[in-house]
Structure 1
Amino acid sequence: MKKIIALFLTITLLISCNKEVKKSSLEELYNQKTTLIYKIDSLNNELNIIEKQISKLDPTKKLQIITTLPVKNGTFKHYIEIQGVVKADKNIEIRPELGGTVKAIYVKEGQKVTSGQTLVQLEDASIKNSIAELNTQLTLATTTFERQERLWNQKIGSEMQYLQAKAQKESLENNVASLNTQARKMKIIAPFSGIVDEIFPKKGELTNPQIPIIRLLNLDKVYVEADVTETYLPVIKKGTETIVNFPSIHKVMNAKITQIGNYINPDNRSFKTKINLSNKDQSIKPNLLADLKFLDFKADGIIIPSTLVQQDQNGNNYVFTIQTKNGEHTIVKNIITAAKEYNNETYVSEGLAINDTIVNKGSRQVQPGEIVKINAN
């Protein structure tokens, strides 16, 4: 009966409206549209009144069956979702300071090493020969200097001979020290404890400072870096709650922002954020992609499913609730303020009370004032 009456009223209204619509200016058309909307609302209200009277007078009328949902009171959280990349401070490619041929490789890929451990030895025979030759000369120069010094202390000999012997000795000492430094640089030493990830040259190959020899990693501590648009500067701070998700390895971690960049990149209008993470199991690798959720809103209050929120012709958000009186369940339209929406949930700041009951299934088929039947399932 309700559908037949509604259809009849709608057809009648459309016929009458079609007679009135004519070519007009844009403003006149908008005015006509507003008038039609109010006519439809007025007819719907009249229809609801008639339906309500029919429900009371006709015991055989079939009531609309709905389900209900109690209002949920809890903590609502809204997140900003962006993508970041894993990085590690101790992730380096070791290069030699001096060129040379690879004489020996003392480690293997995947091997754990400690700080100060020798990883690779470059050919240093020529340097050692030069050191041996200079040491021989230094021994003679030291003996000559000591004799000249004893004679000079006894006022025997010239000052020039003494100074020349001293200069010769000191020059050779400096040359020996320089060659010893070069010899030490022919050893590739681990600057920190970690894992040898890759060895680039093979034994016998020639290297130089432009060619990396070993990639050394320590992944006990890593961090995620992300670029965040400047729009979120007011809400993203150091210590902001963050959910870090690594979809590739199926791992989710709770963390906090460790550092906020102080520079806005003019190319993309963003600033950098850094989140430090513990990585004892070594499962998080450098350059791994991470989905980040930064908490930007949190409040305690009423939370409802977003699918139940509707909007009327005036742009007002509303939901239908149930008012029960004398055993009859009547639909009530509640205008609400939907403050935030996230993950299919809406935080309602105004318009609902904790003891309200919301229409769930069937909310799109009912009208305010309609008497309905509640399905307990």
Structure 2
Amino acid sequence: MKTKNLIWCSLALICTWSCSKNQQNKNKSHKEVPVYVVKQKDTLVTNQFVTDIQAKRNVEIRSRLSGIIQKIYVNEGQFVKKGQALFKINDAELQVELLKATAGLKQATADVRIAEVELKQVKSLHDKKFVADNELELAKAKLSSARAKYAFADAEKKAVLQKINFSTVTAPFDGVLDIIPHKDGSLVTNGTLLTTLSQLDEVYAYFSIPENQYFELLAHDKLGKHQKIELTLPNGAAYKFSGSLKSAESEIDRATGSIRYKVLFPNPNHLIKHGASGKLSISEVQNNAMMIPQKATFSIQDKTYIFKVDKNNKVKMTNIKVGTALKDSYLVESGLKKGDLIIYEGTQSVKDGDQIKIKNRL
């Protein structure tokens, strides 16, 4: 009798445990979670890029002859106009060369005149049969030689004058001067760096995009179809002028797998200097974009998943393809459609095939 009672007690305990377990499973499969209704709407998407800023033109001003710097007409950081004198290199030796070249040219001019007179006389005698043909040809050859020497002397004088012009270094365009490393009295040679000139009324902000993104933009005809391009300066301040996208380089950098673009910004006050850095924010409107919260997604082996909820409130783990990442959302490229229900948060507490209870819809 005692054994029989023990058996009945054991069966009762098993039944109670089984019922309790079934109730737990039932409660677990009907976990109450919030869901998100997938929507489509026009969205302003902003991408940010680190940028390297360069002057529209930035050239090195170098000496084109050797000599002593006689005069510096400008100061470092000064704005100069095209054609304005910057440096004067002593040209005393060149002036002596010019005197010699001028004298040589005068001598060559006289020799040409003498040869012309001689040829005229010989030709007159030749016409009267007083001189032979070879004497006429010799006179013509002398005139040709004299003219050649004149051309050479003229070229020598022009070369000296050109060097004298090089002794005054002028600005090739309007711009701002950089540091001037050599002072008055310094000896410079041909090719010595005198300063650098930057045209700063406009600047280019260069940035790179990966080649896969480049071809994706190309395929969807999105290159250049931006809404707004803004520049953030190194101190965090927003630059007050908007930029315009310019053409890309003709080659993809094989080392980095990227291609460079540039954005042109006006710089009327020369606030931005050559070599500055910053951050570009390029915005574009995406029509009928499908956005979902980042917290609704999870990753497995570099793939992105969500839990989709069907009409029976049963969840299914679904792989999706995401595009641009916004502040707290993803733009979905495939795997979802408008009106789909997905678990908004708590994805770690459910598994594929579970049945849930909808807490609220967002």
TM bracket, shorter-chain basis: 0.5 to 0.7
**Over the residues paired in the alignment, what is the CA RMSD in angstroms?**
4.6
Question: What amino acid sits opposite 1:345 in the alignment?
Answer: S
In the alignment, which residue of structure 1 is the partner of 2:121? 154
Among 235, 238, 244, the residue aligned to 1:251: 238
CA apart distance, 1:69: 9.6
In the alignment, which residue of structure 2 is the partner of 1:272? 260
Among 151, 162, 184, the residue aligned to 2:165: 184
Deviations 1:159-215 (A, max 9, x none): 165455444433322221111111112221211111222222101101123421021
Using the alignment, how far apart are the partners of 2:30 and 2:282 within structure 1? Answer: 52
Which structure 1 segments of 5+ residues have no match?
A: 1-11, 17-39, 52-63, 321-331
Equivalences for 1:286-301 in 2 at 5 Å?
A: 286-293=274-281, 298-301=286-289
Task: Choose between structure 1 and 2 for higher RCO, CA contacts under 8 A separated by at least 6 residues.
Answer: 2
Change beyond 3 A, Cα 1:353–1:133: same
CA apart distance, 1:219: 1.1
Which structure 2 segments of 5+ residues have no match?
A: 1-13, 125-134
Using the alignment, how far apart are the partners of 1:309 and 1:135 within structure 2? Answer: 86
Equivalences for 1:121-140 in 2 at 5 Å?
A: 121-140=88-107
Using the alignment, how far apart are the partners of 1:74 and 1:273 within structure 2? Answer: 29
In the alignment, which residue of structure 1 is the partner of 2:84? 117
Larger displacement relative to structure 2 (199-208 or 288-297): 288-297
Using the alignment, how far apart are the partners of 1:333 and 1:297 within structure 2? Answer: 35
CA apart distance, 1:141: 3.8
Secondary structure of the 1:235 match is helix
Q: Does the Cα contact within 8 Å between 1:240 and 1:295 map onto a contact in 2?
A: no
In the alignment, which residue of structure 1 is the partner of 2:110? 143
In the alignment, which residue of structure 1 is the partner of 2:175? 194
CA apart distance, 1:346: 3.7
TM-score (norm 1): 0.64
Using the alignment, how far apart are the partners of 1:141 and 1:49 within structure 2? Answer: 111
Q: Is 2:87 aligned against 1:101?
A: no
Q: Is 2:326 aligned against 1:342?
A: yes
CA apart distance, 1:353: 4.0
In the alignment, which residue of structure 2 is the partner of 1:216? 197
Secondary structure of the 1:233 match is helix
Deviations 1:281-304 (A, max 9, x none): 322222222334556993425545
Secondary structure of the 2:68 match is strand
Q: Does the Cα contact within 8 Å between 1:98 and 1:208 map onto a contact in 2?
A: yes
Equivalences for 1:52-91 in 2 at 5 Å?
A: 74-78=41-45, 80-91=47-58
| Count of residue correspondences | 311
Q: Does the Cα contact within 8 Å between 1:73 and 1:300 map onto a contact in 2?
A: yes
Using the alignment, how far apart are the partners of 1:76 and 1:91 within structure 2? Answer: 39
